[in-house]
Structure 1
Amino acid sequence: MMARTTVNDKQAGATAAPAPSPEGDDVKVDIEVEGDEKPEQAADAQQDEAQAVEAEVIEPETSDDADEQARVEAAIKAGEAAAEADIKSEADALRAERDELAKKLADVEGDIEAAKAEAASAADRLSRLQADWENYRRRTERDRVTERERACEGLVKDLLPAIDDLERAISHAQATAEGNEVAQQLADGVSAVHEKVVSVLEKQGVEVIDPAGQPFDPQDHQAVGRVENADEYDETVADVYQKGYRLGGKVVRPAMVTVTYGGAKRPAEAPEGDAESK
């Protein structure tokens, strides 16, 4: 405001003129001498003064804009700093959460591995237990069969003399049954009883050894005599004096037989595989 007042004062001073006097021409000359400036120069001076005043007036306003700009920039920087701090805080929280989840995942993976190891151990124990059970079952079954065979073997040994008596009675009755109907009926009856007894024994796994005409086998046969016969292969069973019995692959009693000699040697039997291939 003071600048504007100065301009007006100057303008007033510049445009002011002494009061008119009766001598008009002298006034004109006095103005030219007193001002010592041309009208164009005066206008230029006034314009320069106005620009200077305007510069003085605008200068405070420019300073206020600079302060405002500085405040805006400071606010922007503060906002950016606050945003950066928030982002950093959120990033730290996310990292902490990530680390916690990674730790939990590691713990879970450890638990999974431990569970897998325990499951593998349990499966191994189960496999061993099943194998032990299977072995026990087989051993028990084998023992049961063995006990049954032993019991049956004792029974067979006790029955064999009676079976031998039945066979001798059948042979004697058949020898004297010619023309005697009663003797024939007796022989048929005794033969039926003998067949029933042998059938019961066969159901229990007993096998009759009756090797007449077969090669002599010292494991199943007991030779009680030799018979010369050139028509048969050497060491062939000629007669069976007493039948043998086998139970479960075990010979309960060998057959009592006579063996031939004097004949040709029996040819070696080909293996089963070679016989099938031929």
Structure 2
Amino acid sequence: MEDAMTQNPATEDPKLDATEATEQAAATGPEAEIARLEAERDDLKDKLLRTLAEMENLRRRTEREVADAKAYATTSFARDMLGSADNLRRALESLPDAAQADPSAKPFQEGVELTERELIKTLERHGVRKIDPQGEKFDPNLHQAMFEAPDATIGKGLVSKVVQVGYKIGERVLRPALVGVSAGAPKASDGQAGNGTTSH
């Protein structure tokens, strides 16, 4: 009895090992190997496509950043130069009428005007453009309203007076134009001249 019991495990083990080996061989047959390789290929292809897409996005972002750096590299310098442009304009506007009519003051006036024009052209060459919105629709992205007042000569919501011109560099505002906005034609007062009066 004991001999039979000791022999049973020994006789069962080889059968179990053979069955497992057969199952493993079936599992690792050609079809299973092909399926595994195809899954691995698809995974690698997906990773490659994702990497290529990320690289393309990085390239575009880098190009955009380089273009922005070139376009806006002079922003600080251009902003500092606006004060000089303002001072030249103030110098011209401060000339009294008598001085403007004086022939001896003419060369001075022309010299300041020439300097102002040259400065504006230089700024324009570097992408800086003047914002002079007289008569245009008020745009809070480009203009800063200093006041609103009735004006019969221009429609409501339009720029009636430019207090100080603004400037843009590329698509960015360096300085908004300071403006007065028309509130439209003044309303007629209730007590107009002649109303409620009698003539003798």
- Same-fold status (TM-score > 0.5): yes
Aligned equivalents of 1:127, 1:194: Cα separation in 2:
56
CA distances 1:58-96 after superposition (whole Å, capped 9, x unpaired): xxxxxxxxxxxxxxxxxxxxxxxxxxxxxxxxxxxxxxx
1:159 to 55, 61, 81: 81
Alpha-carbon distance, 1:222 to partner:
1.7
1:216 equivalent among 131, 138, 151: 138
Q: Does the aligned pair in 1 maintain the 2:151–2:160 contact within 8 Å?
A: no
CA distance in 2, matches of 1:130, 1:200: 43
Kindly state the Cα deviation for residue 156 of structure 1 after the two structures are TM-superposed: 1.9
CA distance, structure 2, for counterparts of residue 183 and residue 157 of structure 1: 31
Q: Is the Cα–Cα contact under 8 Å of residues 224 and 258 in structure 1 kept in the other structure? A: yes
More helix by share: 1
SS of 1:177's equivalent? helix
Aligned residue number for residue 66 of structure 1: none
The aligned residue for residue 177 of structure 1 is 100
Length-normalised TM-score, structure 1: 0.47
Determine if the alignment matches structure 1 residue 233 to structure 2 residue 155.
yes
The corresponding residue for 2:48 is 126
> What's the C-alpha RMSD, in Å, of the aligned pairs?
3.2
* Structure 1: gaps spanning 5 or more residues: 1-105, 265-278
Q: Kindly tell me: are residues 209 and 119 of structure 1, through their superposed partners in 2, closer, same or farther at Cα, counting changes over 3 Å? A: same
CA deviation map 1:213-242 (0-9, x unaligned) = 112222321222344322321122122121
Alignment partner of 1:247 out of 149, 169, 172:
169
- Cα distance in structure 1, aligned partners of 2:122 and 2:52: 38
Closer, same or farther in 2 for the Cα pair 1:120/1:206, shift >3 Å?
Answer: farther
TM, length-normalised to structure 2: 0.62
Letter in 2 for 1:192: L
**SS of structure 2 residue aligned to 1:207:** strand
Say which of 122, 126, 129 aligns to 1:207.
129
Distance, in Å, in 2 between the alignment partners of 1:174 and 1:128 is 70
Q: CA deviation at 1:256?
A: 1.1
Change (3 A) 1:196 1:121: farther
After superposition, residues 1-278 of structure 1 pair within 5 angstroms as 114=37, 120-148=42-70, 151-172=73-94, 175=97, 176-180=99-103, 182-263=104-185
Q: Aligned partners of 2:46 and 2:178: how far apart in 1?
A: 56
Task: Name the CA distance, whole Å, in 2 between partners of 1:174 and 1:131.
Answer: 66
Give identity over the alignment, percent.
33
- The residue type paired with residue 250 of structure 1 is R
Letter in 1 for 2:164: Q
Structure 2: distance between partners of 1:184 and 1:251: 35
Structure 1 counterpart SS, 2:136? coil
Deviation at 1:179, TM superposition (A): 4.3
Three-state SS of the structure 1 residue aligned to 2:156 is: coil
Contact 1:173–1:184 at 8 Å: present in 2 too? no
Larger Rg: 1
Q: How far apart, in 2, do the equivalents of 1:248 and 1:112 lie?
A: 56
Paired residue secondary structure (2:123): helix
